[in-house]
Structure 1
Amino acid sequence: MPTQQLDYFTSLVAEDEHFPLTEAAIAIAQHAYPDLIVQNVMDELDLLGDKLKHRISKEMPGLQKLQLLKSYFYKDLGFGPNRNDYYDPDNSYIHSVLQTRRGIPISLALIFMELGQQIGLPIKGVSFPNHFMIRISLPQGEVIMDPLTGTSLSKQELQEMLDPYLDAQGYRGEYQLPLAAFLRSSSPREILSRFLRNLKAIYTQHDRWERLLGIQQRLVILLPEALEEVRDRGLALAQLDYIRPAIEDMQRYIDESPDASDQDEIREQIMQLEQQSRHH
């Protein structure tokens, strides 16, 4: 397991104060593309930013900057959704999205946010259920935008997108959370964890354990408090027959979350692994 890449990722996400979101998001792909040079991808983004800066003057109001950025991003560069293969992991890897111009909401949002930052437009990510959004604060008010298409969404449209999620979660009636609760800006760490969990879902679905392990290692680094990620790293290790480290992760999960509902299942797993290791 390439520890060098994990050390690099660890240093990027160590503190919330100076969190290089774009760089960390690009670096995630190194588990699947070990030869990827993150700085080259950063340079590529800077070049796109430079072309955009030529069209923008310092005095330009935010709304106009946003219109120019949208036109540049969606029309000139041609970014948009990968409708043919939405669940292709490459839709999540920034370097790949820059090549194909095809991505999912969160990967497109990260590139859009980075370009916005380069022209002094404060754009935030919003972890909206089932569809990552972006939020731009302008003197005229808040704009919530769909990163797949650049469409601005009204409160009513957002509520309609949210309702099926609220129904599924049983958050209706007196417990219903207001729309605003789902539109707050996410921190870079939250955005990156959502980014990783998208990949986790894809790799889990296709039983790609080696790839999943690369993602789990990064989730544990990114979210040191999240014991379920330690457990899931253990499960990925077990699938790959790394029995000792798998047992260690699962044991730590059991020791540190005594109230977990899956305690018995994980204990059972540990026993099976211990038997396996005796037979090896």
Structure 2
Amino acid sequence: MMNNFYHEVTQPDHQINLAKACLLIASQEYPTLDLEEYLNALDTMGQEIEERLPASSYPLKIIQTINDYLFKDLGFKGNTTDYYDPRNSFLNDVIDRRIGIPITLSVVYLELAKRLNFPMVGIGMPGHFMIRPDFEEAGIFVDVFNRGEILFEQDCEQRLQQVYQQPVKLEPHFLDAVTNQQILGRILTNLKYIYLNRQEFSKTLKTIEQILLIFPNHPLELRDKGLIYYQLGQWEKASQDLKIYLALLPDAQDATVIRQLLQQIS
């Protein structure tokens, strides 16, 4: 599965099949997962939405039609009661259970929009992932976690303040479109911290390895991989990763602590 994931995520970004890559992430948890079953499910959903579209459709009408289908008819919703359930990060579970977190619900929405030839892009706003139509000066944003609520730029700042419970200025780059690789990295990072908090170190390790397939030699991921190996008592592997981390970031804030750790295990 790792080889398939590597092949998918190292293509030019626009060629990455986002749904397939997300299902390959899920296949770490579900080794017998039938990817085609869920890709076909998305195809079917896309066809059903297309049948509901009026002959002359404009962006807001398309968004409204997707919203009615996803949230009213199928009952998709954001998981507000168990946000850190790892199933919220697995696309097959999100499709089966019709519940998820902002980024995985957004992947479903992006995939359906793509099937309607209505390109949309992800917006990696801190703390709350959203999407928007992919054309210049679209000016509207869709909050998939909140039943496809349509927001304008000033609403995004309010949403940001709700997330952080304090005044936050909306920086222009918060609304920049993100790549498929960045979306996958964010899903995996969510999973990584869920597993870490549960002290499921072997699953944490596999998740970091997937992140490193997308972003090779990412210093912080190498450091964290080394620290996980340390927790698992695999000193040689821990030492290797931590040394690379220090070579990449010799002046890192935690460099002294990491050097002390290396002295202990060498």
Partner of 1:146: 143
Distance 1:242 1:40, change over 3 A: farther
Return the offset for 1:17.
Answer: 4.4
Can you list the C-alpha shifts for 1:10-43, whole angstroms capped at 9, x where unaligned?
Answer: 1111132422222111211122222223232212
Secondary structure at 1:32 match in 2: coil
| Contact 1:137–1:143 (8 Å) recurs in 2 | no
Amino acid at match of 1:228: L
Over 3 Å counting, the alpha-carbon distance change for 1:191 and 1:58 in structure 2 is: farther
User: Which residue of 1 is the match for residue 219 of structure 2?
Assistant: 227
CA deviation vs aligned residue, 1:119-156 (integer Å, no higher than 9, x gap): 11111100111110111257994211111121112333
Check the 8 A contact 2:20/2:35 in 1, yes or no.
yes
Residue 258 in structure 1 maps to residue 250 in structure 2: yes
Q: What per-residue deviation string (whole Å, max 9, x for no partner) do you get for residues 227-279 of structure 1?
A: 111111111222223332222111111122212121121122223333xxxxx
The separation in 1 between residues aligned to 2:189 and 2:160, in whole angstroms, is 20
1:110 aligns with 2:102: no
Corresponding letter in the other structure for 2:265 = L
Q: Does residue 185 in structure 1 map to residue 177 in structure 2?
A: yes
Query: Taking structure 1 as the reference length, what is the TM-score of the superposition?
Result: 0.86
* Shift in alpha-carbon separation, 1:50–1:242, aligned structure 2, 3 A: farther
1:199 pairs with 2:195: no
Give the counterpart of 2:73 among 64, 72, 76. Answer: 76
TM-score w.r.t. the length of structure 2 is 0.90
> In 2, distance between residues paired with 1:8 and 1:192?
14
Q: Kindly provide the amino acid, as one letter, of the partner of residue 188 in structure 2.
A: L
Structure 1 vs Structure 2 CA RMSD: 2.4
SS in 2 for 1:134: strand
1:235 alignment partner, SS class:
helix
Aligned residue in 2 for 1:6: 2
Q: Secondary structure at the match of 1:54?
A: helix
Contact 2:140 2:153 in 1 (8 A): no
Structure 2: runs of 5+ lacking an equivalent: none
Percent identity among equivalent residues?
31
Residue by residue over 1:85-143, the C-alpha shift from the partner in whole angstroms, topping out at 9 and shown as x without a partner, is: 11101011000011110100000000011001001111110011111011125799421
Aligned residue pair count: 264
| 1:211 has 2:203 as partner | yes
Determine which of 233, 239, 253 is the counterpart of 1:247. Answer: 239
Contact 1:62 1:138 in 2 (8 A): no
1:124 counterpart SS class:
strand
